[in-house]
Structure 1
Amino acid sequence: MYMTRAKKTDLVLDGNEVKLRLTAERQKTKQVVHVDWVRFTCNLRAAPAPTVDDLFPLHDSPRFSDDVNRTKRLAQALRELPDPDFAASAQAKALAEQVCEALGPDFSVYPEIRKGHDFYRFRWSIVRNEVECGWVGYLASGDSPRQNAQAKTIHCNLYGTACTFAETGFNHRLANIVEATCATITRVDLALDFFDGFSGGMDRVKADYQAGLMDHCGKQPKCNLVGDWCNGRARSFYFGSKEAGKQTNVYEKGHQLFGPKDDSPWIRAELRWGNKLRVLESDILRRPADFFAGASEWHSRLLREAGAQVTPEPVPTTKRLAAETICAEVKRNVQWLMDTAAPSIALCFEHLGNTSFIEEILLNKKAPGRLQKFSKQEISGAFERAFARVRAPRTGHARMASTLAV
């Protein structure tokens, strides 16, 4: 979606309102960590039941809404759906309305069905001031086995804007919805704001990393520096990995909201928990500071600097999920080797000789990119099984061909 460029004054006003909202939330809840993004998925069978007005969208006048035109347009959108799509759309709308109620009276469901995101065919937009700040997606955009499974789910994605401008306590109400629908939380962003900065600023964050203070379980996470570090403007320091389900971004929030030339000292540490290799409990929404502290000792120390007293709640990787992920990545690698690289490798063996060719290959011991996040022991255990699975169909075809030839 293309948007017109906002004026500097608009950004400043918006930035001041964001800060005012966050400060008010902190004072009212006594929580220094703000829930800044939420995604969750539930099965259709566990989704909320649609209302009578949604099941029979034929009334000319709404019974429960003051916004007559909006309700009529919602009813019209449901009436125009093909029968196979109706039930999923009505359930998704019911979930979207529950989420809007949890966020507060400023939020509503946009009265038109829009094209979906993330491989969902359709979405109901959640809007504030008629601007989308979240959505609920349903039905799949394709018919692959994976998307057939996705078609049996409904997904809610709430952006940072929705979380920032929601009424205080929205995170607790969302947790209740997650539990009531037996949903799986797939992403939660937890934000710790230092409106006046902290000792050492962004340079200290980089120094902490180099000193090993961000290491966890004896491992140093990957890092990535973004922004103008030479002149100290609009800087971001990422460490961790989305693939592993835990990534932190420490950045100059004031420069983001007010412009890189502004002298705002506001720094935000934003932790993204994902459900890759992890199970995110609904309590992460109710006790965000505890789960922020559970990421590492560095996160706990930052919370102490903010004056918070917490009980660190780690979110460990799930061994079964980790093993499945390793096997899937290794199988993908072996499949590529057999399907794409095998002819070239065969030619190299034939014309270069086994010894020299193997010695040259072994000089590059670095694992392929998708496998670099796993240890050699983990990869070793998965390769034999993956090769057997990839080879099985081939050997079956070979035996069939041999039988036919006889």
Structure 2
Amino acid sequence: MTRAKKTDLVLDGNEVKLRLTAERTKTKQPVHVDWVRFTCNLRNAPTPTIEDLFPLHDGARWSDDVPHVERAARLTELLRDMPDADFAASVQAKALAEQACEALGPEFSVFPEIRKGHDFYRFRWSIVRNEVECGWVGYLSSGDSPRQHAQARTIHCNLYGTACTFASHGFNQRLAAIVERTDATITRVDLALDFFDGFAGGMDRVQADYKAGLMDHHGRTPSCNQVGDWCNGRARSFYFGSKEAGKQTNVYEKGHQLFGPKDDSPWLRVELRYGNKLRVLSSDMLRRPADFFAGASDWHAAMLREAGSQATPEPVRTTQRLAAETICAEVKRNVQWLMDTAAPSIALCFKHLGNTQFIEEILFNKKAPGRLQRFNENEIAGAFDRAFHRVLAPGRGRSGMQLV
């Protein structure tokens, strides 16, 4: 394997910093979504394209661009040779990979070869930037156990930090829409707060904060782990929290990671890593990362303020605390879909059918959407008004609904 030169690492590190700085300036958002993983059922996966459902030998009809034609031809051959039992999963996974690429931006594409899968998936479509993998979509299971039989009915998308760093502005909003459209389960989200010039006290201050109990949450002291050369102050990381509980924070010297441990870069990063063990990760985490970063603990909220930003703290409850909030989350998800997806069609129906006829037809179907059928009318009614106003806020008034 060819080792990267020091100059290559420095150039890459500078580009990473440039991208993150540009994103912060463009979005006015200090917290960066740095890793995303989500899983959807095959029945909810994107519909494949006609070209994938009925692959032709000649890919030239797709484009006159020679590299694109060659790539299309390679994809066509792979799909034509795939067994019938695997075909549907393959083309649906490819469709999801293409949607992920579209969300990330024009620099990303699906690599035109099926590769061996990861994490017990049998195959994967690689998502690449400059022909280097920065994510993947896995499908079909690698074994025959009952658990893997269930996995075979799912498709999994994993987008690395590199993909999120070099994605186009607003990628997190577009990914949130994909998650909601496919009714996917988010299994991991990393939220990063960068201090390019460091912060007062540096890594020694992080250790002191922990010992002073500032990182305690709900009266509990999280476990911690120190990695790196703490004696000489190089390439240090301070972990607190637990992967098993689905919430862990890593505070580390990002400049040393990118430029080498002997570099004098002051760049520090606070990286909050959420997993779906004992927690349900909402798509709102992609839309409003700063709120969920601040909601992790008082210490996280204080660090966000130190970065010069304010947020409305929103914690990610463990499953034991979710019962009272589940109905609100489900109703909010339903209203979000209504406003983002169905609103234009509803507006046309009102315009051309008339209010009375349209409302009569709608109310005739009294069955609640699938995810809300487990709740009674009173529970739904109590949550709907709050959910509606929450979706419209912040800064999205009725004039911004774009119904027609």
Normalised TM-score (structure 2):
0.78
Question: 1:22 matched to which residue of 2?
Answer: 20
Instruction: Provide Cα deviations, 1:209-265, integer angstroms capped at 9, x if missing partner.
Output: 000000000000000000000000000000000000000000000000000000000
Instruction: Provide Cα deviations, 1:175-215, integer angstroms capped at 9, x if missing partner.
Output: 00000000000000000000000000000000000000000
Question: 1:13 matched to which residue of 2?
Answer: 11
Q: CA deviation at 1:298?
A: 0.1
Structure 1 position 289 matched with structure 2 position 287: no
Is the contact between residue 62 and residue 69 of structure 2 (CA under 8 Å) also seen in structure 1?
no
Is the contact between residue 277 and residue 321 of structure 1 (CA under 8 Å) also seen in structure 2?
no
CA distance in 2, matches of 1:222, 1:321: 23
Q: CA deviation at 1:5?
A: 1.4
Report which of the two structures shows the higher radius of gyration computed on alpha carbons: 1
Q: CA deviation at 1:59?
A: 4.0
Question: 1:39 matched to which residue of 2?
Answer: 37
Question: Where does structure 1 lack aligned partners over 5 or more consecutive residues?
Answer: 323-406
Q: CA deviation at 1:80?
A: 1.3
1:138-157 equivalent positions in 2, closer than 5 A: 138-157=139-158
CA distance in 1, matches of 2:79, 2:33: 33
CA distance in 2, matches of 1:244, 1:63: 51
Question: 2:74 matched to which residue of 1?
Answer: 73
Q: Give % identity.
A: 83
Change (3 A) 1:19 1:320: closer
Question: 1:193 matched to which residue of 2?
Answer: 194
> What is the count of residue pairs matched by the alignment?
320
CA distance in 2, matches of 1:247, 1:80: 44
Normalised TM-score (structure 1):
0.78
SS in 1 for 2:261: coil
SS in 1 for 2:61: coil
SS in 1 for 2:313: coil
Letter in 2 for 1:33: V
SS in 1 for 2:73: helix
Instruction: Provide Cα deviations, 1:27-83, integer angstroms capped at 9, x if missing partner.
Output: 000000000000000000000011110011124034344410011111111111111
CA distance in 2, matches of 1:193, 1:61: 44
CA distance in 1, matches of 2:60, 2:211: 62
Structure 1 position 233 matched with structure 2 position 234: yes
Instruction: Write out the 4+ residue segments of structure 1 that deviate beyond 4 Å after TM superposition.
Output: none
Question: 2:360 matched to which residue of 1?
Answer: none
CA distance in 2, matches of 1:144, 1:224: 35
1:242-281 equivalent positions in 2, closer than 5 A: 242-281=243-282
CA distance in 2, matches of 1:280, 1:80: 38
1:58-137 equivalent positions in 2, closer than 5 A: 58-65=56-63, 66=65, 67-137=68-138
Instruction: Provide Cα deviations, 1:379-398, integer angstroms capped at 9, x if missing partner.
Output: xxxxxxxxxxxxxxxxxxxx
Question: 2:348 matched to which residue of 1?
Answer: none
Is the contact between residue 274 and residue 280 of structure 1 (CA under 8 Å) also seen in structure 2?
yes
Structure 1 position 216 matched with structure 2 position 217: yes
Question: 1:184 matched to which residue of 2?
Answer: 185
Question: 1:48 matched to which residue of 2?
Answer: 46
Question: 2:366 matched to which residue of 1?
Answer: none
CA distance in 2, matches of 1:74, 1:185: 28
Aligned-CA RMSD value: 1.2
Instruction: Provide Cα deviations, 1:342-380, integer angstroms capped at 9, x if missing partner.
Output: xxxxxxxxxxxxxxxxxxxxxxxxxxxxxxxxxxxxxxx
SS in 2 for 1:68: helix
Is the contact between residue 193 and residue 266 of structure 1 (CA under 8 Å) also seen in structure 2?
yes
Letter in 2 for 1:131: V
